[in-house]
Amino acid sequence: MGSIKKRVWLSIMGLSIVLTAVALMFHFSDPRLILAADSTVPVYVGIDEALAAPPAGVIAELQPQQQVKVVRCVDVKHYIIYKVQLPDGRIGFVNDGKYTLLRDGKPSFC
């Protein structure tokens, strides 16, 4: 009976180590996507506001050279809107403006 418990315990420990290694690999292997403003870029409160004509609900403006983390790329039919995290922690959406997406400091895409 003790032998079975020991094997089960060793199996669980081995599985835990493998899962931890895989999680660390994914965490460090996928560099974060960054949105770098080339000029003043408006950040909207939501997707609907980013798509509105004329645009409304601007919560911030990124200044040239400012960089923010892209949280998610949102595909809305004919557009890709970028959900970004502002330096103060707020979340906003970018659709308009001149900007570059970067991964590892190199131009990239979602």
3-class DSSP assignment, residue 29: helix
Structure tokens at 110: 């979602």
pTM check: above 0.95: no
Rg (CA), the chain: 21
pLDDT tens profile 42-92: 999 999 999 998 888 999 999 999 999 999 999 998 889 999 999 999 999
